[in-house]
Amino acid sequence: MINFAPAMEIHVLEQIPSQFSRFMAELRDVEIQKDPMRFRANLHRIGQVFAYEISKELAYETRSVQTPLGEKIMRLPAEEPVVASILRAGLPLHQGILSVFDRAGCAFISAYRKHDETGAFNIKMEYVSCPDIEGKTLILCDPMLATGASMKICLQALLEYGQPAHIHLVSAIASQEGMDYIEKNVPYSHCSLWIGSVDEEMTAQSYIVPGLGDAGDLAFGPKMQS
């Protein structure tokens, strides 16, 4: 008998109309993007929505809460997740998620595209800071899921710090190609993919179209190319 791994759970939040779509529209709008503070604020709000939705998937336990007038039995999280982000573009999204999971541990990864003279690139990783994630819920966020290579490489680096009970991968905008890549190259049995919106195309330089541009530059200003 052949046992097949269950399909990865994929959640696309824009499939259900809500205020979330306005945050996404402002994130993409070329005029609103001229205000870096607004761009960061929208990523922050998007992160909050993702965190709220992910919170519905976590384990809970009943606890007694003392009020000024008595006690109330409530369902509270059984444990806190670890929130990881890919520097630098992931920081506003990370902060949004962390504002909901305000007791979570944090992990940070420095990774970027290293281009050669032909325009091709490899993912270069220089730094990882991560707590113990053995048996915990790991949330790894990056605003853009283009090829999927960065997400996979960074997840592999984090798994050196333990095997999570469940992994949630979060991106505001994904290409269909990137989603397909993650589905094929990340363990299915304990991983969920959370996407704000899916775009069908990528340029020859692997930028999502229509996308929104370079999330890191829009949030923190243009960087010098090395």
Quick: pLDDT tens for 153-202: 999 999 999 999 999 999 999 999 999 999 999 876 799 999 999 998 88
By the 8 A CB rule, do 121 and 153 touch?
Answer: no
Say what the pLDDT of residue 1 is. 36
pTM: 0.90
Write the pLDDT tens digit of every residue in 51-70: 999 999 999 999 999 999 99
d(CA 104, CA 204): 38
From the CA atom positions of the chain, what is the Rg in Å? 18
104 falls in which pLDDT band (50, 70, 90)? Answer: very high
Enter the DSSP assignment of 198.
Answer: E
The Cα 200–Cα 180 span in angstroms is 11
**Can you tell me the mean pLDDT for 19-31?**
97
Distances (CA, A) of 132 to 98, 102, 136, 188: 17, 18, 8, 22
CATH label, 9-220, candidates 3.10.450.40, 3.30.565.10, 3.30.360.10, 3.40.50.2020: 3.40.50.2020
Q: Where exactly are the structural domains of the chain?
A: 9-220
